[in-house]
Amino acid sequence: MDIPAVFLWALFAVLGVCFGSFFNVLIYRMPREMSIIKPASHCPDCKQKIPFWHNIPILSWLLLGGRCASCKKSISIKYPIVEFLGLSLGFAAAFIAEPSPWQNANLIESISLFWLIVTLIPIFVIDFKYLLLPDTVTIGGILLGFALSFFEGSIGWPSSLIGIAACGGGLFLFSVICSKILKKEGMGFGDVKLFAGFGALMGAELAYVSLIIGALLAIAVIVPYRLFTKKDMRSPLPFGPFLGLAAPISYLFGNTIIAGLGV
């Protein structure tokens, strides 16, 4: 399915800012084990429910001067920042998918890239701070990838299903083996589900390229950090952000990397 890229730019920018608004809820509530559905959006200070016209991403914060309409307490600037980041990443995903405005962009490929890029927000924030990955992102990626696989321009449902099994099952098995050898948890189940989602979206081959890239990124960043800060090398570390960052790289350039290596 094709659509002129300029319309996709606008659509994904709007979707991105909406996702950013939802991610604010996810980032605040998930680590506190709160429902992301109930209660409705409310001020954390006065508990007053926020009407929808005071909950428009970015715009409402600016019009209200960064304060709650009821109690006038300050609302953190991190909320519009996350929303603007969602807008920017959504637009970037559409632009990367097709940079020529009037050229047709493949909608299925664009949606996949949008998901891989925009969901980096909660992956980075939540996993780095709490060592958790939200099911909304991990299981959501599995469901989205498999659903898209039935449309023209996708990898096809057999490849998506194989990707889910090979990536989720393979990483789970690796985690179990590491746990037995190291006598501690080898890898969080959130990482397993996240990787299974990548398999659903791009197939097993490209997903495993992202695993290798993610591992190299993690080694390049975490080992020097722990050496310089004298952190215990055995303490838990977040792998989701590195795996998440590697996924769009593999989605875009994985086939070129495989061809270059002669695999």
Question: pLDDT tens, 171-201?
Answer: 999 888 877 776 666 677 899 999 999 999 9
139 and 237 in a single domain? The answer is yes
Domain that holds residue 51: 1-118
170 and 114 in a single domain? The answer is no
34 and 77 in a single domain? The answer is yes
Mean pLDDT of 4-26: 94
Last residue of a domain, one of 89, 118, 147: 118
Residue 108 within a domain: yes
Task: Name the residue with higher pLDDT: 66 or 117.
Answer: 117
pLDDT tens, residue by residue, 98-117: 998 888 888 999 999 999 99
Residue 158 within a domain: yes
66 and 106 in a single domain? The answer is yes
102 and 164 in a single domain? The answer is no
Residue 125 within a domain: no
152 and 256 in a single domain? The answer is yes
Give yes or no for residue 231 having a pLDDT over 90: no
137 and 263 in a single domain? The answer is yes
Band of pLDDT at residue 234, cut at 50, 70 and 90: low
102 and 195 in a single domain? The answer is no
Question: Is this prediction's pTM over 0.85?
Answer: yes
Mean pLDDT of 53-66: 88
What's the structural domain count of the chain? 2
Query: In sequence order, what are the residues at sequence separation of 6 or more whose Cβ sits closer than 8 angstroms to the Cβ of residue 75?
Result: 61, 64, 66, 67, 68
137 and 217 in a single domain? The answer is yes
pLDDT of residue 235: 67
243 and 140 in a single domain? The answer is yes
